[in-house]
Each structure stands twice: as structure tokens, then as C-alpha cells.
Amino acid sequence: MKKYNGIKKKDIKSKYDQTADHYDLRYENIQKAKFNALFYELKKIYDFQNKEIILDIGCGTLIVYEQFLSKLGHNFYYIGLDFSIMMLKEGINKNQVKLRHNNYSTILADVEYLPLKSEKINICVSLTVAQNLIDIEKHLTIIFDILDKNNGVLLISFHKKFFTLKYVENLLKKIQKIDYIHVNSENLEDYLFIIRKLH
């Protein structure tokens, strides 16, 4: 069962625009905990090179950027993509000093019309975004098309309020040429997965 919430996209965007200034107050620690659980497992299987290209889909206020910075220093290039201008602005404003290192870009766009084509992304992250999408299966297929074919990996979370574990696992089984790790998230709001693109 996937409970697509049926809310119109323009209403979702407007909700995030209106709540952007207090998003971190409410969700920063919650989102950090999800990221940390994923990163802990990622380190075991991923061989970090210098300058990974990281795409954060539905990046919100750039919490994931801050987390990579604290773990990897400036040895990565970050692209944050979101359709809420106010979430992006909030993220850029609070990170002005850190962002001077020029290791980032932000893109204002709908993730279901991803404006990227080539297989250059090493790490793609999507934290608590799937419940807002109309066709999650199509979206995942598009993500795997832009992941690097040698070491591309997706860190993704699915909110337990909207998805059952069975639904997510069935969804992943339908996608060809991937394997995945279900990361323990007993005390967290989301199911967490690390998904690798296979040759």
C-alpha cells in the first residue's frame, strides 16, 4: 500500500514555502538522525573518492549538505534540487559562510521532471520526499538513469505514515539492475534504503 496523499503539487509547494522559516526548528534533528543512520551503513560499502558529485533530491533547507560537509570536509560537489523557492532560500541564507567554498549549486525544479541527463551522479539522496510524488516507480527509474554506472548509489527514505515496508520492497524488486540494503530504522519515522546501481 502506498498512500499517495492526493494533495495537489501546487499545494505541497505552497505548504513548504509557507513553513520554510521554521522547518529546521521542527525537523533538523529528525532528518539528521535518518541521514546519520544511512551514512553509517554507506561507509561500510562505499569507496569514497575525492570529489563525489552528490545530488540531493527535494533538498529542502540543505540539511544533507551540512551533514556531508561535517563528514567529508569540502571534498564533494553538492547539487540541491527542490521546487520550493523558500526552502532553498532558507538553506542558502543559513549556510552563506559554508557555501563560499563554491562546492554547491541549487536548482529550482520539480523532481519528477529532473533536468539532468548524464550518468555523472555518484551519490543521490532523497530524504522524506517520496510521499509527495505521483509516480514513485518512474521517478526511481529516472534516478538510476543519471547515477554513475561505476559507483552510483541512492540513499532514500520513505515515511512510515505513507508507505508500508512491503510496498517499498515490492517496488524495489520491480526495478532492474539494482541491489539494496534495508537500513535499520526502528526508532525513526522513515524506512531507510541504500540502493546500488549494478552494471
Ligand X SMILES: C[S@@+](CC[C@H](N)C(=O)[O-])C[C@H]1O[C@@H](n2cnc3c(N)ncnc32)[C@H](O)[C@@H]1O
Choose the binding region for ligand X from 125-133, 147-155, 162-170, 186-194 (rule: CB under 6 A).
Answer: 125-133
The only residue of 21, 112, 119, 148 in contact with ligand X, by rule CB under 6 A: 112
- From 52, 60, 5, 1, select the one nearest 31 (Cα to Cα): 60
CA dist 53 and 194 (Å) reads: 17
Sheet containing 52-57: give its strands across: 104-108, 76-82, 52-57, 123-126, 153-159, 190-197, 178-183
> Between 67 and 122, whose beta carbon lies closer to ligand X?
67
CA dist 63 and 75 (Å) reads: 17
Query: What count of other Cβ atoms lies within 10 Å of the Cβ of residue 81?
Result: 21
The only residue of 60, 68, 78, 168 in contact with ligand X, by rule CB under 6 A: 60
Build a one-symbol-per-residue string for 64-103: x at contacts with ligand X by CB under 6 A, - elsewhere: ------------------xxx--x----------------
Give least dist CB 58 to ligand X, A. 3
CA dist 108 and 160 (Å) reads: 27
Give least dist CB 199 to ligand X, A. 29
The only residue of 54, 63, 69, 153 in contact with ligand X, by rule CB under 6 A: 63
CA-based torsion, 165, 130, 197, 62: positive or negative: negative
Q: Which residues in 17-46 contact ligand X (CB under 6 A)?
A: 27, 31
CA dist 120 and 86 (Å) reads: 28
Structure-block grid coordinates of residue 178 = 539494482
16 sits near ligand X (criterion: CB under 6 A): yes
Q: Which residues in 159-178 contact ligand X (CB under 6 A)?
A: none
Choose the binding region for ligand X from 68-76, 121-129, 167-175, 180-188 (rule: CB under 6 A).
Answer: 121-129
Q: What is the binding site for ligand X (CB under 6 A)?
A: 9, 12, 16, 27, 31, 58-60, 63, 82-84, 87, 110-112, 127-129, 132-133
